């Protein structure tokens, strides 16, 4: 019997969390255990989980982190808890991903200990939401946008329905099935990302370690919220989007020019913001650049909500 533990990270979304827990409990392939990591919610999340624990046939462990650690910190915390006992696969997701009833069973059919398997995500309106990159290029100094192609792009190509698994360079922490062996070799997610790009960093580290990552186009999950990041740069999230994007280049860039390319990107961005008299966002970018290139990958507390 393959032992699969599910890991769900949540923060102040108990209504959505209830649906996600029900979704993983109802899987056609029965889970070994469910681990809930709560980033210190104050909306009754713990009481909700307790009520489900009381009636669930599957063991549910609940942990409160004691602070808002962000998605990255929550998953790092959860991986540490999960690795305290042996299992075959860890199935991870946040609190707004609802897997279809056979999602886990379909992924397990082609899974092995040397690859991560990502389900394909759809929006509630039926549109494809799988933006995982099939190619993330950090080798060329002339490419400003390293995400060159996504699963969604692939799905738009002729005859793609015959391709059950698509090789990808990155994963979201929304549904991937990760073997115990890979976590042992690759380690924990980097909690300092807080949000954004922690999953890409983990994927790049996984591929560097010699493992494969695929998206299974037959294993379906639905996103319960619309993922729209078009305005995030001007919110508190902008700091993390810029800082973490710069850090990915500095750490994983395949040559010196790519590794220092964030300097040019930041210069252009800051210049544009100052041109339109947006001093606050220019300062955010400056802080993001400094922290991305800091020795310890600094995290400025002022930007944590």
Round to the nearest angstrom and report the end-to-end CA distance of the chain. 43
| pLDDT (tens digit per residue) in 189-225 | 999 999 999 999 999 999 999 999 999 999 999 999 9
> Model confidence over 42-78: pLDDT tens digits?
999 999 999 999 999 999 999 999 999 999 999 999 9
Query: What is the model's pLDDT at position 164?
Result: 87
Q: Is 261 a residue whose pLDDT tops 90?
A: yes
- Angle at the Cα of 120 from the Cα atoms of 132 and 91, rounded to 5 degrees: 90
162 pLDDT more than 60: no
Has residue 161 got a pLDDT over 90?
A: no
Residue 213 tokens, joined: 């990552």
Phi, psi of 97 (to 5 degrees): -115, 120
Span 151-170, mean pLDDT? Answer: 82
Strand partners, 63: 37
Contact by Cβ (8 Å): 288, 196: no
> For the segment 78-137, what is each residue's pLDDT rounded down to a tens digit?
999 999 999 999 999 999 999 999 999 999 999 999 999 999 999 999 999 999 999 999
Average pLDDT over residues 285-302: 94
Answer whether 8's CB lies under 8 Å from 21's CB: yes
CA-CA distance, 195 to 225, in Å (whole number)? 17
Q: Are 12 and 45 in contact (CB under 8 A)?
A: yes
Pairwise CA distance, residues 2 & 95, whole Å: 24
* Residue 175 to residue 199: CA distance in whole angstroms: 11
Is the pLDDT at 174 greater than 60, yes or no? yes
* Backbone CA torsion sign across 124, 194, 36, 110: positive
- Tens of pLDDT, residues 229-257: 555 777 789 999 999 999 999 999 999 99
Query: What pLDDT, on a 0 to 100 scale, did the predictor assign at position 305?
Result: 82
Residue 215: per-residue pLDDT: 97
Q: What are the DSSP calls for 93-127, one per residue? A: EETTEEE-TTHHHHHHHH--TTEEEEEEEEETTS-
* Dist. CA 115–CA 118, nearest whole Å: 10
pLDDT of residue 260: 94
Against a cut of 0.85, is the pTM above it?
yes
When pLDDT is cut at 50, 70 and 90, the band that residue 228 belongs to is low
Residue 209 falls in which region: left (phi positive, over 0), alpha (psi -120 to 50) or beta: alpha
Rounded to an integer, what distance in angstroms lies between the CA atom of residue 230 and that of residue 285?
17
pLDDT in tens, 266-279: 999 999 999 999 99
Q: Half-sphere exposure (CA, 13 Å, Cβ side) for 90?
A: 26
Residues 252, 201 contacting (CB under 8 angstroms)? yes
Q: How far apart are CA 143 and CA 127, in angstroms?
A: 28
Contact 122/227 with Cβ under 8 angstroms?
no
């Amino acid at each position: 019997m393959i032992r699969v533990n599910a890991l769900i990270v949540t923060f102040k979304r108990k209504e959505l969390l209830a649906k996600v827990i029900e979704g993983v409990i109802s899987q056609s392939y029965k889970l070994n255990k469910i681990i809930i990591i709560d980033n210190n919610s104050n909306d009754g999340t713990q009481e909700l989980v307790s009520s489900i624990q009381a009636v669930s046939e599957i063991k549910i462990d609940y942990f409160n982190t004691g602070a808002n650690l962000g998605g990255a910190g929550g998953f790092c915390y959860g991986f540490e808890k999960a690795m305290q006992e042996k299992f075959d696969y860890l199935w991870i997701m946040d609190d707004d991903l609802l897997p279809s009833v056979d999602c886990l069973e379909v992924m397990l059919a082609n899974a092995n200990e040397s690859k991560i398997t990502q389900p394909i995500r759809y929006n509630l309106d039926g549109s494809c939401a799988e933006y995982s990159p099939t190619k993330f290029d950090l080798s060329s100094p002339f490419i400003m946008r390293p995400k060159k192609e996504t699963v969604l792009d692939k799905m738009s190509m002729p005859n793609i329905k015959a391709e059950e698994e698509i090789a990808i360079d990155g994963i979201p922490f929304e549904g991937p099935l990760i073997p115990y062996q890979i976590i042992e070799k690759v380690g924990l997610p980097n909690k300092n990302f807080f949000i954004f790009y922690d999953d890409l960093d983990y994927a790049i580290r996984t591929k560097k370690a010699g493992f494969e990552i695929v998206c299974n186009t037959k294993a379906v999950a639905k996103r319960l919220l619309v993922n729209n990041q078009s305005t995030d740069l001007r919110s508190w999230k902008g700091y993390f989007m810029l800082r973490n994007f710069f850090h990915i280049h500095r750490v994983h860039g395949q040559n010196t020019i790519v590794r220092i390319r964030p300097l040019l990107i930041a210069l252009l961005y800051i210049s544009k913001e100052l041109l339109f008299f947006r001093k606050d966002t220019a300062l955010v970018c400056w802080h993001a650049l400094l922290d991305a290139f800091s020795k310890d990958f600094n995290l400025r507390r002022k930007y944590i909500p």
